[in-house]
Chain A
Amino acid sequence: MKKVKSLADLKKMKEQFQSNINLREKSEHPEGLVQVKVAMATCGIASGAKDVMDFMITNLEKRNIDAIVTQTGCMGYCYAEPTIEIRLPGQDPVVYGYVDVKKADEIIEKHIRQGELVDGIIPINYETI
């Protein structure tokens, strides 16, 4: 039987995680982080928000983009789920609707990388507290 990952293995991996974090912290300030919020209420989850969130977390890391991915509740756009909110440093947040893995990929490459807006924006105006 193959070896199954355990807490002891995690302990061994800890150093590696820590050094990656140190590297990242040195390169940028926290206020320079891209913030991604995935709407994860019943409506979002039922429409596939989990796959989008999985994709965001793994791919932002793979592509070396410093970002925080968090969950949020229902924003009232149940018809357009899954929805995600992108906030680039120093800019107003933008909300995208009907996001699937393909759309998420486009958002990472165009919006997050190049600051170019992508189709599928839900036009809203609001201030977060």
Chain B
Amino acid sequence: MKDIALHIMDIVQNSISAGATLIITAVLEDKVEDNLILIISDNGRGMDQETVMKITDPYYTTRTTRSVGLGIPLLRHSAGQAGGGLKITSSPGQGTSITATFRRSHFDCPPLGDIPGVISLLAGCNPSLDFVYRHVIGKSVYVFDTMEIKEVLEKVPISDPAVISYMKEMIGENLEELLLMPET
């Protein structure tokens, strides 16, 4: 995985498979603490402690088409390489939350990548699910919420290609503006 955005796209698939209807992704950037924290939480079916222990093992997977599952091990590796780590909290029926920490100034801290593209694709390709994306830099916040989008769209489906590219531009412009804000 080249960047944070692709990790998000990948990890979110786990949430979708776990039957989540709401997936909240947050990227928190803190220059003072020199942290970049990625949190993905869902309201899916969750896992028991035993499964949580096994899940970072690349040879653990729930799928049947192949016997390896690399999504979480790759994210853990990526975070570890950038001086951070991975934490998973989950309990059956309560959903799952995955937190990956990166040292922001670390040479191996992955770039953010195409966050607008990933979030708009996820929203457009899973019209029955809701996604919230929060990006925090210092004290400035941008929140994208498909529940708001759907309310505005009314009958127009969120999966319409024109809507997907509109959402992509909207997230992109807002994140660009967020980057311009003073960080402290």
Binding site for B on A (CB under 8 A): 1, 4-7, 9-11, 13-14, 16-18, 20-21, 40-43, 45-46, 50, 53-54, 57-58, 60-61, 68-71, 73-76, 78
**Which residues of chain B are within 8 angstroms of A76 by Cβ–Cβ distance?**
65-66
* A61 CA / B165 CA spacing, docked (Å): 11
Q: Is the interface of B mostly helix, strand, loop or mixed?
A: helix
B13 interface contact, C-beta 8 A:
yes
B74 interface contact, C-beta 8 A:
yes
**Which residues of chain A are within 8 angstroms of B74 by Cβ–Cβ distance?**
42, 46
Contact of A53 among B66, B121, B126 (CB under 8 A): B121
**Which residues of chain B are within 8 angstroms of A57 by Cβ–Cβ distance?**
121, 124, 161, 164-165
Q: Is the CB of B156 within 8 A of A14?
A: yes
**Which residues of chain A are within 8 angstroms of B114 by Cβ–Cβ distance?**
50
Q: Is the CB of A50 within 8 A of B6?
A: yes
Contact status of A45 and B1, CB under 8 A, knowing A4-B173, A7-B152, A76-B66 = yes
Binding site for A on B (CB under 8 A): 1, 6, 9-10, 13, 17, 63, 65-66, 69-71, 74, 114, 117-118, 121, 124-126, 148-149, 152-157, 159-166, 169-170, 173-174, 176-177, 180
**Which residues of chain B are within 8 angstroms of A69 by Cβ–Cβ distance?**
125, 161
| Residue ID in chain A nearest B169 by CB atoms | A5
Q: Is the CB of A54 within 8 A of B117?
A: yes
Q: A14-B154, A18-B155 given. 20 additional CB < 8 A pairs? A: A1-B177, A4-B176, A5-B166, A6-B170, A10-B170, A17-B160, A17-B166, A18-B156, A20-B160, A21-B160, A41-B13, A42-B10, A50-B117, A50-B121, A57-B164, A68-B159, A69-B125, A70-B125, A71-B13, A73-B65
| Residue ID in chain A nearest B172 by CB atoms | A5
* A93 CA / B170 CA spacing, docked (Å): 35
Distance in angstroms from A66 CB to nearest chain B CB is 10
Q: Is the CB of B118 within 8 A of A50?
A: yes
Contact of B174 among A5, A18, A54, A71 (CB under 8 A): A5
**Which residues of chain B are within 8 angstroms of A17 by Cβ–Cβ distance?**
153, 156, 160, 162-163, 166
**Which residues of chain B are within 8 angstroms of A73 by Cβ–Cβ distance?**
13, 17, 63, 65
**Which residues of chain A are within 8 angstroms of B160 by Cβ–Cβ distance?**
17, 20-21
**Which residues of chain A are within 8 angstroms of B1 by Cβ–Cβ distance?**
45-46
Q: Is the CB of B165 within 8 A of A75?
A: no
Contact of B153 among A5, A10, A46, A75 (CB under 8 A): A10
**Which residues of chain B are within 8 angstroms of A11 by Cβ–Cβ distance?**
152
